[in-house]
Structure 1
């Protein structure tokens, strides 16, 4: 080997290896201590990390070509060039996906990988104490200001599940309130004079804060807050000045927030409000050249317009499939095929529904991937059965729908508690359609306490439809009357 060859491999071997690489190769630990790589990591700029990775001497005298690395990352060579030379990537989905793909050691990262220790804990940085935030002010009556220390006291004194859930919800909301934007919830709405990358990172972190809060507080308590936060940030982005490199990152962060706001509007049964956010998200994702964000927005749009505009729903799902070609994971493909299957059922196209469901099941059988975007966690075998059940309802096959919903409620993971409640209510609705009044009332009665614990108007609306069907039954039973009374009492509290 030549004297200046410090890679440990001869030139022909290096060339042969470069040609056959279809994925990032394993690299030794000292690889990440190379000065350009170390400085890029310290600068929290994954694009520069990727460029330093490509130019590392370990790969030989010639850098890895952008085209090869772009193929690993699921983007084009032109997109990788913009990632390396543009503003830092702030979208957490991409950061996690690319860090895992390149096998960047966890201790070198400035963000947490799922299942790993948070970077602040690794670095010994103190986190804000949720109890130091005395109140969280919101945009409306949904979540009134409540002292967190009062919620803590109630929980410590045995206040029960509701108090503990309220405390965790308030803690999550306090996390949103302390993300670095002190005037998102109250105070003057004056826009900052300029926006930098630190503020973009803080804005990007809001989406994860909303997701965490949603799991404990529910959409009803969060939707108005998300609407106000989105309005404030969008207004600031319009009025403030910022560099060209900040622009793409800011657009991606605002697109992510718009998608989350749209979902909260859907789950709180405010569907008409969701459409403008998704339209905005698609536009911002394209400005930011972020296909992953665009696919998420189209997938959500397909769900939103399915019943009112099934043709547009199909076009949206197909657009997402095209945009994800080449980099989409099996789980993402499963979700998109489920979207098309349900829409075909709404259109009463049985054969197309069956073909789409078959594609969804084939993709699901391919398993999960480390590259799955975090929002896909709910795409499981139970969710496939659930969409199948909803589709059978649309096709007028309440018997097959009931079988699907029953299987879900008996086997779904505790991690998907809201889905279990939702499909239990759907089971009661299917049993009503079958004329099994007693079973429908029993199922609905079992679901009522859990429904009271989740803040989802969408679930409540479906349960109210079951209540209406049972109240109007030609031959009411003692069990059906018992549920109607229990439901009415729950609503009047």
Structure 2
């Protein structure tokens, strides 16, 4: 049990480092830890109490590995770990980890398979009925809202977004699961902005991201930088080359110091679009980008 508690503390350290720095350098470490703990679980003898605790710890770690794979831009590696998390959560009769895995599956499938994303979020809502805190319901409503946006269902998005805000207004609770720490006002505004992007409401998306970019990181530095990069993308799609270049130039040092392949992928897309522009700010950004990221 002491080793299992140690594994749980390791997941928390992964979570804290990821929020501050991004997942690129953490992902392989977490995969290695999951592999070793899985081997231990398969080869050791233990009673029911230890067995259930071990399966829950492995589900927790698998969920964390899946998220780290998403942020490290290694999305293809995430789904097997989420399937593993759901299986182990069922074995241990741990609905918390099962719901967390379903929420992450909703995020993972949102862009390519939005109907599946919606089904996963709705399944998580059903599975958590009766015990979910307001913060968990907030996250699951955000997942459904964003899935509706990718399905181009404006009514569904507006309805679920309103429910998410209503749940968020109930505030935190002592029973909130540790992984919900990122569900802040910044995250609500960020998902709103991403949803407006998916719906083609570019000015409203830029407005949401600008509200995040102008505020403090609120303890989640990586997310703050990610949404600022998405601001540059929204400004580009609005045709505002000047603002996009200035946003990109302003956030470039932070992106360089980050280890988030997902954030870097979007930043590289901003660079690609600005490289075709002829304005002075765009050229300044391209020169700075080349200097910062040259091999």
Report TM bin, short chain. Answer: over 0.9
2:260 pairs with 1:490? no
**Mapping of residues 321-340 of structure 1, within 5 Å:** 321-340=125-144
- 1:478 — aligned with what? 280
Contact 2:4 2:54 in 1 (8 A): yes
2:49 pairs with 1:245? yes
Q: Give the count of matched residue pairs.
A: 295
2:36 pairs with 1:225? no
- 2:62 — aligned with what? 258
- Counterparts in 2 of 1:198 and 1:382: CA distance versus 1, 3 Å: closer
2:166 pairs with 1:365? no
Q: Distance in 1 between matches of 2:86 and 2:2?
A: 24
- Displacement of 1:350 in angstroms is 0.8
- 2:39 — aligned with what? 235
Q: Distance in 1 between matches of 2:80 and 2:105?
A: 10
Q: Distance in 1 between matches of 2:217 and 2:25?
A: 24
**Mapping of residues 311-350 of structure 1, within 5 Å:** 311-350=115-154
**Mapping of residues 44-63 of structure 1, within 5 Å:** none
Q: Distance in 1 between matches of 2:4 and 2:207?
A: 47
**Mapping of residues 396-435 of structure 1, within 5 Å:** 396-435=200-239
**Mapping of residues 275-314 of structure 1, within 5 Å:** 275-314=79-118
Contact 1:428 1:443 in 2 (8 A): yes
- 1:88 — aligned with what? none
RMSD of aligned Cα (Å): 1.3
Contact 2:189 2:208 in 1 (8 A): yes
- Counterparts in 2 of 1:416 and 1:213: CA distance versus 1, 3 Å: closer
**Mapping of residues 260-275 of structure 1, within 5 Å:** 260-275=64-79
Q: Which structure is higher in RCO with an 8 Å CA cutoff and minimum separation 6?
A: 2
- 1:102 — aligned with what? none
**Mapping of residues 58-457 of structure 1, within 5 Å:** 197-457=1-261
Which has the higher Rg, Structure 1 or Structure 2?
A: 1
For structure 2, which runs of at least 5 residues remain unmatched after alignment? none
Contact 2:145 2:156 in 1 (8 A): yes
- Displacement of 1:248 in angstroms is 0.7
Q: Distance in 2 between matches of 1:218 and 1:388?
A: 22
Higher helix content, 1 or 2: 2
For structure 1, which runs of at least 5 residues remain unmatched after alignment? 1-196
Contact 2:21 2:222 in 1 (8 A): no
- Counterparts in 2 of 1:305 and 1:276: CA distance versus 1, 3 Å: same
SS at match of 2:161: helix
Q: Distance in 1 between matches of 2:33 and 2:177?
A: 24
| 1:60-112 C-alpha deviation (Å, 9 max, x unpaired) | xxxxxxxxxxxxxxxxxxxxxxxxxxxxxxxxxxxxxxxxxxxxxxxxxxxxx
